[in-house]
C-alpha cells in the first residue's frame, strides 16, 4: 500500500475575508473577567461577513477559486493489503488516533455511559448556573475524550501485534497415538505444559470490541 494525502486546500469565503480585514480581532478570544463579552470580536467579524455575503461578484469569485482547489490524494493498494485487512487498517488507524490525541485542539461531548465512573460529568464539581449559561465545560470533559482516544488506539494496536501470546504459557508436547481401529489421535506428551488463559483472553477481546464500537460511535468526532 502507498498512501499520499496532501494538506487541506485553503477555502476562501466571506468569513475568511472578514477575518483578514479585521485581522486584529480574535474570534476565539475569551474574556475571563467578563465572560459575556467573550464573543464581541467574533460578533464583529460575523457582522462584516453578513455584509460581504450580499456582494454577488465577491461570492462568485470565491466559488470560482474554491472550485479549482483540489486536495492531492493518491492511494495505491496491493493484493496483500487485503489478506488481513484488519491488520492493514490497524497500522494506519493506530498512529492517526495517537497523533490526534497529541495535537487535539478541543473535544466533543462524550456520553457518561462510555467512560469509567470517575471520569463522568457526575463525578466532576457541579457547574454553577452562570457557568452553564456561558457554555463552560465540566472538569472531566477533555479527560473523557482522552480516555476514548486511548481506548480506540489501544484496540486497533492489538490488531497489529500477536496479542494472544500474552495469554499462553508453557511448552507444547503433542504426540500421535495409534488406535486399535487403525486410526490415530493427538494426545499430550509427558512434557506438555502448554496452557491458555481463556478468561483473560475473553476480557481482552471484549475490551478490543468496545474500542472498535467507540470508534464507530465517535467516528465523526475525529476532527478536534
**Which pLDDT tens digit goes with each residue over 166-224?**
999 999 998 888 887 778 888 899 999 999 999 999 999 999 999 999 999 999 999 86
158 pLDDT band, cuts 50/70/90, is: very high
Residues near 208 by beta carbon (within 8 Å), at least 6 away in sequence:
155, 158, 159, 163
Residue 36 domain flag: yes
Share of the chain above pLDDT 70, in %: 95
Q: HSE-up of 7 (CA within 13 Å, CB side)?
A: 3
Residue 91 domain flag: no
Task: Examine the domain organization and report whether 224 and 146 are in the same domain.
Answer: yes
Task: Examine the domain organization and report whether 117 and 195 are in the same domain.
Answer: yes
Bridge partners of 76? Answer: 2
Residue 81 domain flag: no
Task: Examine the domain organization and report whether 115 and 217 are in the same domain.
Answer: yes
Residue 103 domain flag: no
Final residue of a structural domain among 61, 76, 91: 76
Contact of 173 with 187, CB cutoff 8 Å: no
Q: Which domain holds residue 153?
A: 108-224
Task: Examine the domain organization and report whether 70 and 181 are in the same domain.
Answer: no
Concatenate the DSSP letters of all residues of 35-66 into one string.
GGGTTHHHHHHHHHHHHHHT-HHHHHHHHHHH
pLDDT at 36: 56
Mean pLDDT of 2-11: 90
pLDDT at 205: 97
Mean pLDDT in the chain? 91
| Residue 30 clears pLDDT 80, i.e. is over it | no
Residue 97 domain flag: no
Task: Examine the domain organization and report whether 62 and 112 are in the same domain.
Answer: no
Residue 86 domain flag: no
Task: Examine the domain organization and report whether 57 and 116 are in the same domain.
Answer: no
Mean pLDDT of 38-52: 86
pLDDT at 179: 84
Q: Could you give the angle at the alpha carbon of 218 between the alpha carbons of 166 and 127, nearest 5°? A: 110
135 pLDDT band, cuts 50/70/90, is: confident
Contact of 173 with 191, CB cutoff 8 Å: yes
Domain count, the chain: 2
Residue 102 domain flag: no
Residue 37 domain flag: yes
Amino acid at each position: 500500500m502507498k498512501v499520499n494525502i496532501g494538506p487541506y486546500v485553503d477555502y476562501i469565503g466571506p468569513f475568511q475575508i472578514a477575518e483578514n480585514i479585521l485581522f486584529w480581532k480574535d474570534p476565539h478570544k475569551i474574556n475571563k473577567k467578563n465572560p459575556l463579552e467573550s464573543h464581541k470580536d467574533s460578533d464583529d467579524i460575523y457582522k462584516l461577513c453578513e455584509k460581504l455575503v450580499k456582494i454577488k461578484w465577491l461570492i462568485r469569485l470565491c466559488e470560482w477559486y474554491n472550485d479549482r482547489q483540489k486536495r492531492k490524494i493518491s492511494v495505491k493498494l496491493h493484493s496483500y493489503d487485503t489478506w488481513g485487512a484488519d491488520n492493514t487498517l490497524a497500522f494506519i488507524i493506530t498512529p492517526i488516533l495517537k497523533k490526534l490525541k497529541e495535537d487535539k485542539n478541543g473535544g466533543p461531548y462524550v456520553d457518561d455511559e462510555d467512560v469509567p465512573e470517575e471520569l463522568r460529568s457526575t463525578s466532576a464539581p457541579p457547574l454553577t448556573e452562570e457557568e452553564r449559561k456561558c457554555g463552560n465545560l465540566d472538569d472531566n470533559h477533555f479527560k473523557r475524550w482522552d480516555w476514548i482516544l486511548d481506548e480506540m488506539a489501544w484496540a486497533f494496536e492489538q490488531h497489529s501485534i500477536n496479542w494472544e501470546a500474552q495469554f499462553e504459557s508453557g511448552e507444547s508436547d503433542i504426540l500421535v497415538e495409534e488406535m486399535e481401529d487403525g486410526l490415530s489421535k493427538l494426545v499430550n506428551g509427558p512434557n506438555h505444559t502448554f496452557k491458555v488463559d481463556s478468561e483473560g483472553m475473553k476480557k481482552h477481546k471484549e475490551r478490543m470490541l468496545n474500542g472498535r464500537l467507540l470508534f464507530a460511535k465517535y467516528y465523526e468526532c475525529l476532527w478536534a
